[in-house]
Amino acid sequence: MKRKQVSTFVSLFSSKKLRSRGNFPSTVFFSMTIKFLTIQLDITLQKCKDDIMRYCCIMKSVNKYKSYIFILNQGDDVVIKCNWGAGALSVVLVASLLAFPSMTEANMDKKGTASAKPARFLSELAQLKQQVKQQQKWLKSNGIQKNAQKESVQEVLFKGKLDWYQNHTYRIVVEKDGVLRINEKNANDKVKYSLMDANSFEEVSNGAKMPAGEYFLSVWYDRELPSSENDVSYEVKVSGVSMNSVDNTAPELQTTAPIKHELRLTTEAKNFQLKGSVKGADRVDITANSTTYGLKGFTYSEALPFNPGRNSYQITAREMSGNMANEVFEVVKPHLQRYNSTNPAALSAQLSKKRYPSGAETVIITNSHFGAEALTANTLSSVQNAPILFTDANQLPVGVSTEIKRLGPSKAILLGGDKVVSKAVEEQLKKMNIKVDRRVESNPFISTSQLAEKILKDSEIDSVSIVEASDFASAMYMSAGYSSPILLVEKDRIPVETKAVLKKYPQIKNLLVVGPTGQISEAVKKQLGSYGKVAEVTGKDRFEVGVNVIRHFSKINEVDASEFVIVKDQDYASAVLGGGFYAPILFTPAHSLDKSVSTYFNESKPNVLHLLGGKEAISTQVEQQLKGKLN
């Protein structure tokens, strides 16, 4: 597999927060704020294409941490994977689809500042660049040359109306060098614009020297503002240079259904209905997530497909003059998926096939009847970007063996000693030409501390999660998509291994104690206070703790709670596997949805629910209760 490391980009661009309209015009880029990025960051070419719609946008991990910019060369078909902390998020980005990226269940934009608005657009500059490239290709295919128009003008006024979900782009051909002058008159300063060189894709600022050539002016509603269905008017005057005759009108999009740009379908919906017409265009395209449909006429009535969760639909109207208009709709399709496998090993193979359709370079092998291994398996999976597969103690189950061959790994990490994963299993793996790395650590305080150190080293993360060693539920919560490493304590004692980490990394300023009320003594909390500020996420039982963990991280914009993994109470094997969804995990009794979970879903509707286990684990009654929460 061809790889190229981008760690250099991180070191170059991590020193300050950069807005989405940055000075990287020759690249498609995005930014997100994360707590650390030291374990793994690489670009893998030609991988995981089917995850495009689920991971173009990931997580708002903001707070006070710095913003990182990841940069891709235009045209690469790539996957960016950012692995961090206790449960990572894989970011999948296909550069050719960046005009209006689709949404994911984590609903976060790529930026360095906190925001409550949905993450609809990658960045204005990236959109403009991709749209210009698409428009150039289309114009060329229709024989439209740069200097086809001969009449010169010295001033052009661009006027129009648009709402939050639209943008307009105008093509300008400059005959002679000059000094650009742009005057704008926008309603309530709600409209933004950008003028871009069509060849270098550099932005041209007001008052700058403007060489002869082709340019595109893009106008859009300020997306830092709350979304609005109301149109705003704009006037942008371009002068100071000699231009070929310029078409100062954009195509007019007139969508009649749906009447709103954001909507939630029912679980029974079969498709998304989009109806309307276009005026003043020579071509109309509709993009449903990753698929673009060219319309034969200028009236559309389309039944479009969707993916589970959030979906993005775009209408693009193009003129031969080079002008175009875009409009986006965001649609949530609620979905419940049960993964009905007969045993943990079969479930691990099923989820591996779903999460790693293009294979994996590393696999993690352990036994579903584990102990201390469970507390590090999820985090290690995130760090290694590796699926977790369960084995019998003495041999690989047939289904797991088949899945390993499909994945084609070069390395297998075995968690546990010979009694957990036998020598026979190790020999089976070696016969597949897989390098085996066995990790034996029966002391959970040592194993979690070692992994926490790997996460903290050379990073700026300043928080850790504190969990009582026997509290597997809280450990599972904190290893499913949250970025703080986990350290373990006993109810009345802080182990020396945990103390050593807290002392070694003075950057740790915040300690989040997670667990049911009374799980950790006040004396231990007081001791923890000597290492930093202590906060708590607690509850009357493990069910309420899980809900309160989500509430806590939602408030600080570190998770957008719209996709969940539902696991039977105390089914920690399934919970370990559920960490691979990088979505919050919630436990529930087998035959009735827990009251705390039910109340939370009444307050905040989920978009996607993953049920792990058959009906003996999560009953039909609970499934029906959960379906009722989706609509």
List, for residues 99-151, the tens digit of each pLDDT value: 222 222 222 232 222 233 333 333 455 655 666 667 667 666 766 654 444 57
Predicted pLDDT of residue 200: 84
Q: Give the residue among 533, 549, 529, 528 at the shortest CA–CA distance from 597.
A: 549
List, for residues 215-236, the tens digit of each pLDDT value: 999 999 988 889 999 999 999 9
Q: Residue written as tokens 């976060």?
A: 108
Contact 205, 266 (CB under 8 A): no
Predicted pLDDT of residue 150: 57
Q: Which class does domain 127-334 fall in?
A: mainly beta
Query: What is the model's pTM?
Result: 0.74
Q: Which two tokens stand for residue 470?
A: 């026997």
| 390 vs 5: CA distance, rounded Å | 31
* Three-state DSSP state, 402: helix
Amino acid at 236: V
Predicted pLDDT of residue 87: 25
| 300 vs 296: CA distance, rounded Å | 9
Contact 596, 539 (CB under 8 A): yes
Predicted pLDDT of residue 384: 86
Q: Residue written as tokens 């293009």?
A: 358
Q: Identify the H or E element spanning 431.
A: helix 423-431
Work out the pLDDT band at 187, boundaries 50, 70, 90. low
Measured in degrees and rounded to the nearest 5, phi and psi for residue 306 equal -145, 165
Q: What is the DSSP string of 200-256?
A: T--B--TTSEE-SEEEEEEEEE-TTSPP-SS-EEEEEEEEEEEEE-------EEEEE
Query: What percentage of residues in the chain have a pLDDT greater than 70?
Result: 75
Q: What is the DSSP string of 260-308?
A: SSEEE--TT---EEEEEEEES-SEEEEEETTEEEE-SSSEEEEEE---S
Contact 320, 282 (CB under 8 A): yes
| 189 vs 186: CA distance, rounded Å | 5
List, for residues 47-57, the tens digit of each pLDDT value: 332 232 222 22
* Three-state DSSP state, 352: helix
| 121 vs 261: CA distance, rounded Å | 14
| 87 vs 451: CA distance, rounded Å | 12
**Range in 69-83, 371-385, 506-520 the model is least confident about:** 69-83
- How many other β-carbons are positioned within 10 Å of the β-carbon of residue 615? 14
Domain boundaries, the chain: 3-116, 127-334
The per-residue b/e assignment along 181-215, b for 16 or more CB within 10 angstroms, e otherwise, is ebebebeeebbbbbbbbbeebebbeeeeebeeebb
DSSP label of 105: T
Q: Give the residue among 546, 574, 573, 567 at the shortest CA–CA distance from 611.
A: 567
